[in-house]
Amino acid sequence: MFDITGKVALVTGGSRGMGRAMAFGFARAGADVIVASRKLDACENVASEIAAETGRRALGVACHVGHWEEIDALVDVAYRSFGTIDVLVNNAGMSPIYSDVQDVSEELYDKVLAVNLKGPFRLSAVVGSRMRDSGGGSIINVSSYSAEHPDKDAIPYSAAKAGINAMTVAFAHALGPTVRVNCIQPGAFLTDVSKAWDPGWLEREVRTYALGRAGEPDEVVGTALYLASSASSFTTGAVIRVDGGNP
């Protein structure tokens, strides 16, 4: 049921962290993969590693998802190269740190909303419409526990991720019944970004988790494969927590 042999998956933010783990996971399950992020060399390196390990076709493409013209170019390259996109993962995100809420500039606010919300909207609209017209597909959004537990130090990010949760439900209805749209809502994961976190904060945070620890990037792959495959054929509009039991 979790086999996705012959499918094509596009993963944004796919060069590191959970995006990288999902890209490898899809390829190991039989899919060809498009790895997209802002830095072309990082995308190409991951794509080469995926192809060498799994034997699947893999392509690295540079794309800043906050810029709609780059999204349109990414989609064009994907369809020219593979002919289809069966699975779209809106994983790219950013959460800059600020010292005080009044220090959040309009430029910073716009950038956070563009990457975390505007980009996923455009990709879902463009790719999802093509999926619907060609018979179906699966869109997987990546939210955050901040969507339900807003952080005073990341207000624009929390707002954007809450928007992702709402958008998931709306797109499930807009693109159904052939396209399924779901959302993974992670807790704290030990990705590259976590290296910048205050160790004391992380220790206090995960102490409240039922599992008592942060997640490893590979631990998101099972949920992603479920949502990408026929195993989730009656699941759409769902926001699935993968957070170690974050209360």
pLDDT of residue 57: 98
Could you tell me which of 17, 126, 106 has the C-alpha nearest to residue 65?
126
Domain ranges of the chain: 8-242
- Between residues 151 and 237, the one the model is more confident about: 237
pLDDT of residue 201: 82
Q: Are 71 and 47 in contact (CB under 8 A)?
A: no
Helix, strand, coil content of the chain in percent (nearest 5): 50, 15, 30
pLDDT tier at 73 (50, 70, 90 boundaries)? very high
Residue 84 reports pLDDT greater than 90: yes
Helix boundaries (H) for the chain: 17-28, 40-54, 68-82, 106-113, 119-134, 155-175, 199-207, 221-228
Cα gap 62→22, rounded to integer Å: 18
pLDDT of residue 194: 83
Q: Are 116 and 144 in contact (CB under 8 A)?
A: no
Residue 93 reports pLDDT greater than 90: yes
Residues 58-73: what's their mean pLDDT?
Answer: 98
Mean pLDDT of the residues in the chain: 96
Cα gap 65→19, rounded to integer Å: 14
Among residues 98, 109, 145, 157, which one is catalytic?
157
pLDDT of residue 54: 98
Residues in Cβ contact with 61 at an 8 Å cutoff, skipping those fewer than 6 apart: 34, 35, 36, 40, 43, 74, 77, 78
Residue type, 101: V
Second CATH level (architecture) for the domain 8-242: 3-Layer(aba) Sandwich (3.40)
- Between residues 11 and 151, the one the model is more confident about: 11
pLDDT of residue 27: 98
Residue 196 reports pLDDT greater than 80: no
User: Does the annotation mark 157 as catalytic?
Assistant: yes
pLDDT tier at 221 (50, 70, 90 boundaries)? very high
Cα gap 94→232, rounded to integer Å: 28
